Structure 1
Amino acid sequence: MRLPLSRLYILLPVTIAYLFAFSACQQKAPEKPAPVKAEPFTPTLLTQETVVDSLTAYGQAHPHDTLVLISTSKGDIKVRLFKDTPLHRANFVRLANYGFFDKTVFFRVEKDFMIQGGRTDEPNMKIGMYNIPQEIRPHYYHKRGMVGMARYGDKENPERMSSPRDFYIVQGHPLSPEELAANIQEFKLNLTPAQKKIYQTQGGAPNLDQQYTIIGEVLEGMSVIDSIAAVPVDPQKWPLKDVTMKVRVIK
């Protein structure tokens, strides 16, 4: 189901080795064994009761996995995941390692605001019914290139828990002093002078600050994000032509 922006909810490949036996001296070589059909790998389904313990354990087992490559039909985006949002990092790495995102698309595109991915019109891998407890950090803000997890609104989700799959990347646009002042007043933001300068020169989405968990930032590929943000979309902001992705943990 395609969700309106106001409700931002913003297989492990199995490799089979074939063993070939070679004859010694004049012995007859045995016939090559028939290929074994691989079964798709399905991750353990998480629940709200198991999510914290499961993601904590997964994060401890993958302590250094912070660099992710998102290869899209428009080009590559390299993202660094933050270690001080450990549940969100573990969840993103876990789903990437399972190949979950490879069956999804960027399903919502708002030019000069953000691109959002992590789902598709087609059924994809089941991961369980759960949300991730929020890890909103005051030192992260929604400047251009920041990556966050979408969620339901405060009325339905007062704990501000994140979607396990729907992520967004901020494109943004430079804000005029008047636009920035209006955002600060409306959303009661406490921005530093350096943050204000970034919003006015590089751009971002201050209206999201301190409401959504930011999990990382783009290191390379902002031109790809600009390209995705410029694609034609339908009235629900879904691209008319799917923008696909493959996500890999590279370090």
Structure 2
Amino acid sequence: MGQLESKTAVVTGGSTGIGLATGIRLANEGAHVFITGRREAELTAAVETIGRDRATGVVGDVSVTADLDRLYEAVGSRGKGLDVLVANAGIGSFSTLEETTEEHFDQTFAVNARGTLFTVQKALPLLNDRASVILTGSTAADRGMDAFGAYAASKAAVRSFARTWSTELKGRGIRVNVVSPAWIETPGGTAAFGDEETARAILDNVAATVPKGRMGRPNEAAAAIAFLASEQSSYIVGANLYVDGGANQI
């Protein structure tokens, strides 16, 4: 038996990258996983990868509250509440202070901060006592990276949410924690740099600066999330678990 046998889980942004790897890992631990994504074709492929008997896909955008309502209506129809919520959906692109537009700022915060808040808020009626909520943060929240100001600030908000919500939900035994990856090889991460050749050159340079000596893999972030989802982390509350190959630690 897996660590999450007969549990119900939600993973937002579950079509690719860390979200998909997390859906696979939680399903392998025995959970039935609801995954969301904005692109139906990618979401359908992700469900096939995880297994139709172990996953349900719900098309939606976390910045649209009506889409979140549809997600939780589907989860509620299963009749088992919700044991694990992974608020993973996020976006990021480069823009210096001088270049930042209202559209760039609003879009970044609409998904990363506002979307995370309402993903968790709207789950509250379904969350079972002693449920685990995991938010996807970023090591960028701790650093002053050029042209990443709005993204970093939105992820700093996510870190702050975890502290506050841990206090507010402790009476129900619900634990809230953050996983903060650094450079993980994902399609979204590559797209942020534009064309593939440019992205590869930048990411190779980044990898050389990581103490581990390479980029992270989605399944490594998923392993950390699975740990926080399980009873193995029962005494961990309000924490920020870095999955960064030592980049922010050494």
Q: What is the TM-score of this pair, normalised by structure 2?
A: 0.28
